[in-house]
Amino acid sequence: MGAGARILHGAVVAAEDGPVVLGDNVVVMENAVIRGSAGHPSLEGNSVMIGPHAHVNGSTIGADAFIATGAALFPGSVVGKRSEVRINAVVQIKSRLHDGAVVPIGWVAVGDPAQILSPNRHDEIWAIQRGLNFMSPCMA
């Protein structure tokens, strides 16, 4: 944990399967979950805010990023510096957001580089996920 980092009430930071590294001035809000996973450490840069009920699993988050309430980041995902993953948005396995990207409320970022798609575009999302070996063992 970096200097000035704060973990608020009910949040869970679990490094059972892989490391979790929080930079300086990171705030993990109420009931958020951050975990490192096998092969995918969770690495949060400086001045990152992770909102209530967000799930960060084996993801790398660049400095000054904002992960909003209910957002979900899956193993191997990368969120660029100064990016925003808004309320209930998703960054899928092995997907990479460029610096300054915004994933709108409830939308899905998928691919490397990530395409940002509305959730009603399921077939397109799934086609990209298949190319990322979404269902491979341990998602390595």
Average pLDDT, the chain: 93
Q: Could you tell me if 56 and 73 are in contact, meaning their C-beta atoms sit under 8 angstroms apart? A: yes
Number of domains in the chain: 1
In this prediction the pTM is 0.91
% of the chain exceeding 70 in pLDDT? 94
Structure tokens given for 24: 């300086």
Residue 23 lies in a domain: yes
Question: Does position 140 have pLDDT exceeding 80, yes or no?
Answer: no
Residue 1 lies in a domain: no
Tell me what pLDDT residue 139 has: 46
Residue 126 lies in a domain: yes
What is the spatial distance between Cα 9 and Cα 30, in angstroms, rounded to a whole number?
5
| Banded pLDDT at 134 (limits 50, 70, 90) | low
Q: Which of 111, 105, 108 is nearest to 119 (CA)?
A: 108
* pLDDT tens digits for range 38-59: 889 999 999 999 999 999 999 9
Residue 140 lies in a domain: no
Q: Could you tell me if 40 and 59 are in contact, meaning their C-beta atoms sit under 8 angstroms apart? A: yes
CATH number at residue 33: 2.160.10.10
For residue 61, the one-letter residue type is I
State which residues form the domain around 71: 6-134
Tell me what pLDDT residue 67 has: 98
Residue 84 lies in a domain: yes
Tell me what pLDDT residue 37 has: 84
- Buried b / exposed e along 48-71 (16+ C-beta atoms within 10 A): bbbbebbbbbbbbbbbbbbbbbbb
